[in-house]
């Protein structure tokens, strides 16, 4: 029987998950693939010993022990971050080893260099675990939906942010309160910036866009806004208006240019993405052949992510066995057919909007505000005004028909300059229904 030997760099949460998955599924994988997948070496500078079940696995602090071991076929990088992860991956690739990684931050910034090196060395790069944890979303895009022009991607791709928004929505709690609780419970990191500011979601969107559209999308191409400024008031108004606020990654394919944005979004309660709660992820594609497809599951965690890494390892193992390396191009399009993205400028984005204007309740206020909207071609769909004390500023909430972001910015600037407006207007984009 063929044996495929695996070197693992990083024995943290996901690394342990992969080790456990390879160990507990060993017989099943033999039955399914005819291949014995053996974890031979673990590199981790912070680990002193491996659990008993891995007594046959070599533990080392030096990644060279993997790179220089000619018996190792696949190197799995699960340390995350830029360096030394990037150097490790490149060194493995240059040594002719296939690599698997869950490192979305790295791929969304240095992916091009890594995939180019892999193509030169004719090795595979598996990255199913970089998006959506255990959900086989990369494989779905690259293979299951291969006969589709992808029209859009919409998704909840960060469990921490979704957990926080869900708690804020269900329990009426403030952002900071929920974040603190989530940190105490271990659901949020000590430094939650990547999760709550949308950066992690943007990493993932860059990867999905790259393979969905065949474009070299970089993290910097993506407009990113997080959820730390979301106020309970807006979550409440959203509910009143039949919507929930979710941190969405959205990309729409306009042919000549593509949208690329991550921001809090008002999602109609009737839309499936509004029903995704807690730490779960859900990613929706629209393809010109298949229509809408949505994939849902645990977007993070030791075993779910381990499941995705293991699937990549098996996929590569089958290709080694069959001598069919790069049978499916790493980025779904052949390297020569990849193109440069042209990103829709945010000012040219067209979508419906939610505005919360804070104003003194004086005669004529509403007329002044709505005439500014009218001047900028923004058509109001509905309006809600809070009950209030006569002397307090009042919230006036608007939902618009589709409007252009540039016009919206100009209108808000004018509204916020009105003497009756006492606080900056809050703007939240709505999910386009289609």
Instruction: Choose which of 82, 334, 342, 384 interacts with a second copy (CB under 8 A).
Output: 334
Paired strand residues for 348? none
Q: Does 298 bind a second copy (CB under 8 A)?
A: yes
For the bound state, the minimum distance from the C-beta of residue 243 to a second copy, rounded and expressed in Å, comes to 16
Contacts 24+ apart (CB under 8 A), 322-328: 325/98, 325/122, 325/123, 325/124, 326/119, 326/122, 326/124, 328/142, 328/143
Q: Does 332 bind a second copy (CB under 8 A)?
A: yes
For the bound state, the minimum distance from the C-beta of residue 333 to a second copy, rounded and expressed in Å, comes to 5
Q: Are 102 and 125 in contact (CB under 8 A)?
A: no
Q: Are 162 and 155 in contact (CB under 8 A)?
A: no
Instruction: Choose which of 61, 180, 254, 327 interacts with a second copy (CB under 8 A).
Output: 327
For the bound state, the minimum distance from the C-beta of residue 326 to a second copy, rounded and expressed in Å, comes to 9
Q: Which stretch binds a second copy (CB under 8 A): 103-111, 161-169, 307-315, 376-384?
A: 307-315
Beta carbon nearer to a second copy, 245 or 303: 303
For the bound state, the minimum distance from the C-beta of residue 14 to a second copy, rounded and expressed in Å, comes to 12
The residues near 298 (Cβ < 8 Å, ≥ 6 apart) are: 133, 134, 135, 159, 279, 280, 281, 304
Q: Are 287 and 293 in contact (CB under 8 A)?
A: yes
Residues taking part in catalysis: 204
Beta carbon nearer to a second copy, 111 or 352: 111
Tokens describing residue 72: 């190792």
Residue 171 CB neighbour total at 10 angstroms:
11
For the bound state, the minimum distance from the C-beta of residue 110 to a second copy, rounded and expressed in Å, comes to 24
Whole-number Å distance between alpha carbons of 143 and 154: 19
Instruction: Provide the phi-psi class of 248: left if phi over 0, else alpha when psi is between -120 and 50, else beta.
Output: beta
Residues 128-167, mask of contacts with a second copy (x by CB under 8 A): x-----xxx--xx--xxxxxxx------------------
Q: Which stretch binds a second copy (CB under 8 A): 60-68, 72-80, 297-305, 353-361?
A: 297-305
Q: Does 324 bind a second copy (CB under 8 A)?
A: yes
Instruction: Choose which of 287, 356, 359, 394 interacts with a second copy (CB under 8 A).
Output: 287
Q: Does 290 bind a second copy (CB under 8 A)?
A: yes
Distances (CA, A) of 432 to 99, 252, 351, 400: 38, 10, 6, 12
Q: Which stretch binds a second copy (CB under 8 A): 257-265, 284-292, 363-371, 397-405?
A: 284-292
Whole-number Å distance between alpha carbons of 270 and 314: 38
Q: How many residues does the chain have?
A: 434
Q: Are 128 and 138 in contact (CB under 8 A)?
A: yes
Q: Does 31 bind a second copy (CB under 8 A)?
A: yes
Instruction: Choose which of 296, 353, 355, 373 interacts with a second copy (CB under 8 A).
Output: 296
Q: Does 15 bind a second copy (CB under 8 A)?
A: no
Beta carbon nearer to a second copy, 257 or 333: 333
Residue 253's SS3 state is strand
Whole-number Å distance between alpha carbons of 234 and 172: 11
Q: Does 13 bind a second copy (CB under 8 A)?
A: no
For the bound state, the minimum distance from the C-beta of residue 328 to a second copy, rounded and expressed in Å, comes to 7
Whole-number Å distance between alpha carbons of 310 and 287: 28
Q: Which stretch binds a second copy (CB under 8 A): 106-114, 177-185, 304-312, 404-412?
A: 304-312
Q: Does 34 bind a second copy (CB under 8 A)?
A: yes
Q: Does 304 bind a second copy (CB under 8 A)?
A: yes
Nearest to 145 by CA among 211, 53, 239: 211
The residues near 107 (Cβ < 8 Å, ≥ 6 apart) are: 101, 114, 127, 130, 203, 206, 207
Q: Which residues bind a second copy (CB under 8 A)?
A: 17, 21-22, 24-25, 28-29, 31-34, 128, 134-136, 139-140, 143-149, 214, 272, 275, 287-298, 301, 303-304, 306-308, 310-311, 314-315, 318-319, 321-324, 327-329, 332-334, 337
């Amino acid at each position: 029987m063929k044996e495929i030997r695996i070197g693992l760099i990083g024995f943290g949460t996901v690394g342990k998950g992969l080790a456990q998955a390879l160990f507990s599924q060993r017989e099943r994988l033999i039955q399914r693939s005819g291949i014995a997948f053996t974890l031979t070496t673990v590199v981790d500078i912070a680990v002193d010993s491996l659990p008993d079940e891995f007594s046959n696995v070599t533990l080392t602090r030096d990644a060279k022990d993997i790179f220089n071991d000619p018996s190792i076929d696949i190197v799995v990088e699960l340390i995350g971050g830029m360096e030394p992860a990037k150097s490790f991956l490149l060194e493995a690739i240059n040594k002719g080893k296939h690599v698997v990684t869950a490192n979305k931050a790295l791929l969304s910034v240095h992916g091009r260099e890594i995939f180019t090196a892999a193509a030169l060395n004719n090795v595979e790069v598996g990255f199913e675990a970089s998006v959506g944890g255990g959900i086989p979303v990369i494989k779905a895009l690259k293979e299951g939906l291969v006969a589709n022009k992808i029209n859009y991607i919409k998704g909840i791709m960060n469990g921490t942010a979704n957990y926080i928004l869900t708690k804020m929505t269900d329990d009426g709690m403030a952002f900071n309160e929920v974040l603190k609780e989530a940190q105490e419970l271990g659901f949020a990191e000590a430094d939650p910036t990547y999760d709550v500011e949308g950066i992690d979601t943007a990493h993932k969107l860059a990867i999905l866009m790259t393979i969905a559209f065949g474009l070299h999308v970089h993290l910097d191409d993506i407009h990113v806004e997080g959820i730390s400024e979301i106020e309970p008031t807006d979550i409440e108004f959203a509910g009143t208006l039949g919507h929930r606020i979710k941190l969405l990654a959205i990309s729409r394919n306009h042919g000549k240019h593509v949208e690329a944005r991550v921001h809090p979004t008002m999602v109609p309660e009737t839309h499936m993405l509004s029903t995704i709660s807690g730490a779960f992820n859900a990613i929706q594609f629209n393809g010109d052949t298949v229509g809408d497809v949505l994939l849902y599951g645990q977007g993070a965690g030791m075993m779910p992510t381990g499941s995705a890494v293991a699937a990549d390892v098996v996929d590569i193992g089958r290709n080694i066995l069959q001598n069919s390396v790069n049978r499916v191009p790493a980025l779904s399009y052949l390297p020569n057919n990849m193109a440069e993205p042209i990103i829709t400028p945010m000012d040219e984005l067209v979508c419906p909007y939610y505005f919360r204007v804070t104003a003194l309740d004086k005669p004529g206020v509403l007329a002044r505000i709505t005439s500014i909207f009218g001047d900028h071609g923004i058509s109001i769909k509905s309006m809600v005004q809070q009950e209030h004390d006569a002397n307090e500023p009042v919230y006036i909430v608007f939902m618009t028909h589709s409007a252009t972001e540039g016009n919206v910015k100009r209108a808000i600037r004018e509204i916020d300059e009105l003497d009756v407006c006492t606080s900056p207007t809050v703007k939240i984009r709505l999910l386009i229904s289609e």
